[in-house]
Structure 1
Amino acid sequence: MTAFDRLQRTHWAGQAEAYERCFVPLCAHPAAAMLDAARVRAGTRVLDVGTGPGTAAGLACARGARVVAVDAEFSMLRLARRRVPQAELCHAVLPDLPFPDDHFDAVVANFVLNHVGDPAVSVAELRRIVRPGGRIAATVWPSPRPPLQRLWEQVFDAAGARRPADEPAVPPERDFAHTVEGFGGLLRAASLTDVHCETVAWVHQTDPEDWWYGTASGIGRLGRLMAAQPPGVVEQIRQHYDRLSAVHLTDGGFLALPTAALLASGRAP
């Protein structure tokens, strides 16, 4: 386990309820397309890695698939069990999954490879447990960041927020370019064939208070940045958030900004 992995385990501990309020609708958007890319249908034996609140697992169950779902965070598993009682759920942490080789017809990972310290090793583990001819599909956030995520960068810059210089990160030699070419290359390096990667774009609408709540509660990299600020700077962040988000509000009072994800899939030879 790398320093980045340890940071992720600590950071996400107990965060399921905050995550459910602000990020579940956002991260759910590409889940159906991810299942399509993995050819998940009735009878498919599918593993949902990093299931979180069980969004992809629930969609797969609705298709009649035989679903196993795992997550590294116990609060997420408790939430997933309430939301998707028909799935088999257990605790597991990439890149060490407790399944034999060639065990599943399909493996999906919705916004999980953003949170591992060695993405190539993790994809190799997904490849290990999918049968020959089975499929893997995954999503990650792209780089550069879309407008929805850039809003927070603009807010922090306007408030003069201090960026911690010593936060663990994925080492450059283990990371991959979060582009169509880079993400597709990550799957090809794991010997997957028929690799396809595309950008899925949409306009996310959310209550501005919910979008504030997620970061203020410490969710994600920006949540950690918020938590590192003194109270006076947090007050400045709130003021700039209200000002900068106001121009993106709909007539109904929802925050509406474009965002996007990368969706990559491949077949095990």
Structure 2
Amino acid sequence: MTSFDDHERARWAGQAAAFRGSFAALCAHPAGALLDAVRVRAGQRLLDVGTGTGTVAALAYARGVKVVAVDAEPSMVAATGRRIPDAEVRRATLPDLPFGDDGFDAVVANFVVNHVGDPLAAVGEMRRLARPGARVAATIWPVPAPAAQRLWTTVFTAAGVAIPDDLPRLPADRDFPRTAAGFADLLRRAGLGDVACETLFWTHRTDPEAWWSGPANGIGSPGLILQRQDAATVARVRAHYDEHVAPLLDADGRLGLPTSALLASGRA
């Protein structure tokens, strides 16, 4: 484990409910494409790494797949266990998962590789757990960030809140380019073959209060920044947030945020 991993564990502690009410719907969009990428079928055994509140695991279970799901955060494990009582749901942390080699017909990780201190080791562990010929797939957010994520930087800048320079980052020797080419290369270096990476585009539609509630509850880098502010500054940030999202609301008051993600897959 690294200091980056320690930071992630602290930031996500007890956050299952806050995540489910804010950013879970955003992260849910690629779930079907992720399962399609590993070509998992009914009756096969799938490992969902970093399951969160169980979105991908639940979709796989609905397709008749035998689901094993793991997450480092106990509140996420509990949430997924309640959501899919018949699945095997365990607490476990990349890059050291408690399973033998070659035990799964497919392995997926939805927005997990961007939350680990050693991405190459994490993908390598996923490859270890997939049987020979099985597929492994993962999603991450790209850099430059899509509009949905850039909104927070825009709001903080408008409110006069400086983006701190001490936000946790991976050391250069463990990081990788968050581009389609860079993500594909990470999978190849981890030992996967037949690697492909695509960019998914969609407009995330959500209640503006739900989108605010994620950072307001301390989730993600925007949450860390917001928690460092005094009450008056938080109120100013909220005023600028309301101003910036107003043009993005539809007739029903729903927020429409263009976004994208990278989905990479390869064969073990």
Q: Give the alignment's Cα RMSD to 1 decimal.
A: 0.8
Q: Which string of whole-angstrom CA distances, capped at 9 and with x for unpartnered residues, describes residues 123-157 of structure 1?
A: 11111111110110100001111111111110001
Return the offset for 1:228.
Answer: 1.1
Aligned to 2:184: 184
Tell me if 1:32 matches 2:32: yes
Q: Secondary structure at the match of 2:243?
A: helix
The one-letter code of the counterpart of 1:113 is: V
Alignment of 1:188-227 (within 5 A): 188-227=188-227
Matches within 5 A, 1:1-269: 1-268=1-268
The amino acid across from 1:223 in the alignment is G
TM-score, structure 1 as length reference:
0.98
Relative to the length of structure 2, the TM-score reads 0.98
Mapped to 2, the partners of 1:129 and 1:86 lie a distance apart of 21
Shift of 1:166: 2.5
CA contact under 8 A between 2:77 and 2:91: conserved in structure 1? yes
Name the CA distance, whole Å, in 2 between partners of 1:157 and 1:44.
48
- Per mean C-alpha deviation after superposition, the further-off stretch among 101-110 and 163-172 is 163-172
Please state how far the C-alpha of 1:41 moved relative to its aligned partner. 1.2
Tell me how far 1:163 sits from its aligned partner: 2.8
Are the aligned partners of 1:162 and 1:229 in contact in 2 as well (CA < 8 Å)? no
Instruction: Output the amino acid matched with 1:173.
Output: D
Query: Following the alignment from structure 1 to structure 2, what is the Cα–Cα distance between the partners of residues 248 and 80?
Result: 32
Equivalents in 1 of 2:260, 2:104: separation in Å? 28
Question: Post-superposition shift, 1:221?
Answer: 1.1
Distance 2:231 2:171 in 1: 32
Moved over 2 A (4+): 162-168
**8 Å CA contact retained: 2:167, 2:221:** no
Q: Deviation per CA, 1:164-221: give whole Å up to 9, x if none.
A: 3333211121011111000011001112111010000000100001101111111111
Deviates more, 1:175-184 or 1:225-234: 225-234
- Unaligned runs of 5+ residues in structure 2 are none
Paired residue type of 1:117: G
Helix, strand or coil at the partner of 1:22: coil
2:156 and 2:163 in contact (8 A); partners too: no
Taking only the aligned residue pairs, the percentage that are identical comes to 59
**1:130 partner letter:** A
Report the CA distance between 1:80 and its aligned residue.
0.7
